[in-house]
Amino acid sequence: MIEHVGEAIVLRTWPFHEADLVVSLFTREQGRVKGVARHALKSRRRFGGALEPMTHVRASYAERRGQELVRLDALEILSSPLSRPVDYERTAALEMVAEVLEAALPEGAVEDAVFRLALAVLDELQVGRVWMPVTYFALWMNRLMGWMPELGRCAACGLDLRGGTVWYSAVNDGVTCADDRSAGGTALSAESVATAARIFRGTVKGLAEEDWPKARAAELRRFAIEVLERHLEGRLMTARVLARG
Ligand SMILES: [Zn+2]
């Protein structure tokens, strides 16, 4: 048996056997790990509020030889989304970040840059900001996973698209000029492309201090979420919930 203690983010839980929960954890040192929280349903005291999705914890767990699931021994809360009043938008944003991490990260792959991104975005969601952190997360997640299309050049003809509108679609990689756009393609304005460049240069904390109502960068957010969905090969249910909000 190998014991581990380290930082982690709780992604989701589901019931297992009678009184146990399986917990999907994004650990800093080992990537995504699944473990059993024994008696978690009966004894709330042991894990308390630490099992809420997107809780930042110090996790103690044991890897057992020949067992797929680790044994969770303790989760100490470092920061909890429940420490602030929860509203619809914030809850939906937290769930979206959790859903994307759960779907994008293979089990056991160490992703320290993604871990730092998640924590920085969580901090901003924690203080009640929603739209910039979510947009920042979706764009950066694409970049860190290697899914972010080059926005400065037409993928079909190589035309320099800098400073202009670009087109994208759910069926093709990359973006194109207007002439090469696919049927059903969507435009991404020059302003959105410029905002993406700012997001890749800046910190979420610095950017989130500006005023970001829901409508600001909405087009860019939709683009980033569609690129994520294209690579995750599925609709992000939580992104729809968030957009409805
Ligand atoms: Zn072209």
Q: Compute the distance from residue 136 Cα to the ligand 1 centre, in Å.
A: 28
Domains and CATH numbers, the chain: 2-82 (2.40.50.140), 84-244 (1.20.1440.120)
Q: Are 191 and 176 in contact (CB under 8 A)?
A: no
Q: Compute the distance from residue 128 Cα to the ligand 1 centre, in Å.
A: 41
The per-residue pLDDT string of the chain (245 residues; one tens digit each, 9 = 90 and over) reads 899 999 999 999 999 988 899 999 999 999 999 999 988 877 667 788 899 999 999 999 999 888 999 999 999 999 998 888 878 899 999 999 999 999 999 999 999 999 999 999 999 998 889 999 999 999 999 999 999 999 999 999 999 999 999 999 988 889 999 999 999 899 999 999 999 999 999 999 999 999 999 999 999 999 999 999 999 988 888 888 888 86
Q: Compute the distance from residue 180 Cα to the ligand 1 centre, in Å.
A: 5
Q: Compute the distance from residue 47 Cα to the ligand 1 centre, in Å.
A: 55
The DSSP line for 145-208 is HT-PPPSSB-TTT--B-TTS-EEE-SSSSS-B-STTPPTT-EEE-HHHHHHHHHHHHS-HHHHH
Q: Compute the distance from residue 160 Cα to the ligand 1 centre, in Å.
A: 9
Q: Compute the distance from residue 209 Cα to the ligand 1 centre, in Å.
A: 37
Q: Provide φ and ψ at 200, rounded to 5°.
A: -75, -15
Q: Are 175 and 196 in contact (CB under 8 A)?
A: no
